[in-house]
Amino acid sequence: MKFFFAIIFVLLFQFSYSQSKIKSISPSVDRKDSLNIQIIETLGKFLETQSSKFWIESDIKMFKFPYQELIGIESGKMGSNFYQPSLMEIISTGEDDKKIVKVAYIGYNEETESNLIKAIYNMIAVKIDGKIFFSKYINYVTKDWRIKNEDNLKYYISPTKNFSHEEVERQKADIKLLSEFFGVEKFPIFYYSAVSPEEVFKLKGFDYHPMMYTSDSGGFAEDYNIIISGNNSEYYTHEVVHLYTSKLFPGINSYFYEGIATYFGGSGKFDYQWQKEKLKKFLTENPDFDVLKHLNVYERLYFEKETPVPYVVSAVICEMIIAEFGREKLFTVLRNGSSAEDGFKVFNLNKNNVNSKLRRFLKI
């Protein structure tokens, strides 16, 4: 497999498509085919402008930003435009005027004289009224998935998993609780139920992405009430909370965004109470841990591989705030988009007391 990709990289960089944003085109692409010619031309224009006018209208209505995964994908540690798009394949779908377009983002490291791959991404090209438009891969790859409607939930179920009615009932109960807590009516939720993060990234269009294999659980809450779950489960309250907070508090700070989601939905495969017990153990073993030095909620600080410490600390902070000040006071901070530091000030938390109050609340 490594030898195969090495050959592909060499071939890709033998061809340059200087008339557009496309860095190179593989010789496996038939550039004499009339439909392919149109696809290549339109792909170049889209990559240059990242304009929604090149995407089918139904995708924009369903996903808001159907090409969100490609925004900023050129950037990396080597520079803001290090990874450049190369057209690998244009593949028949078996349908007239519809093809799979496979794009790799590759950078060349001059110091090591080696090619580095960031991602391989798929989209669907469709010819409508003589023009080419693109569509998200998820619509194509899930066309044969089972669909189950459960109250306000519409499930799209991977053919590789069993549908759990018990998990659906738990999810419906949590949605009722969340609607009561946030004071809003239930809204439609489109839930893609996959078996793993690998399958999640494939739904999002990736043959390869560096995050595909970093965890055995996870998923995404996306615009327009979409959940993509890789937990092999019909229950994913953590991401459902994100749908509520994104609607109600569009400027919410990431610290509280993840904290309130973890408070209601836990993290990974474990609920909040389980994670809280793990945090108590972590703090007991790490008496010098300072909350204020770990306000980047996405810091990869894990305890025993399953407990994301910043997530769980932020969840406990949210619980402390609700217990002492009530939910409405918390909503004010969420609505204002206050940073963690500014939010702490509202609740009289500072460098002199936040750690002791956290430990006291957890009864450590």
Mean pLDDT of the chain: 92
The answer to whether 37 and 20 are in contact (CB under 8 A) is no
Long-range contacts at 239-244 (CB < 8 A, ≥ 24 apart): 239/265, 240/171, 240/174, 240/175, 240/178, 240/189, 240/265, 241/178, 241/265, 243/187, 243/189, 244/178, 244/182, 244/184
In this structure, are strands 219-222 and 206-208 parallel, antiparallel, or unpaired?
unpaired
Indicate the pLDDT class of residue 290, thresholds 50, 70 and 90: very high
Q: What is the pLDDT of residues 74-121, one digit of tens each?
A: 998 888 889 999 999 999 999 999 999 999 999 988 888 899 999 999
Average pLDDT over every residue of 276-304: 96
Q: How far apart are CA 144 and CA 146, in angstroms?
A: 7
Q: What is the CA angle 46-48-54, rounded to 5?
A: 15
Element (H, E) at 101: strand 98-109
Q: What is the pLDDT of residues 37-64, one digit of tens each?
A: 999 999 999 999 999 999 999 999 999 8
Q: How far apart are CA 258 and CA 236, in angstroms?
A: 14
Average pLDDT over every residue of 145-167: 97
Q: How far apart are CA 219 and CA 197, in angstroms?
A: 7
Q: What is the pLDDT of residues 25-40, one digit of tens each?
A: 999 999 999 999 999 9
Whole-model pTM: value is 0.88
Residue 247 has pLDDT above 80, yes or no: yes
pLDDT of res. 7: 38
Domains of the chain: 2-135 (3.10.450), 142-248 (3.30.2010), 249-364 (no CATH)
Average pLDDT over every residue of 139-146: 96
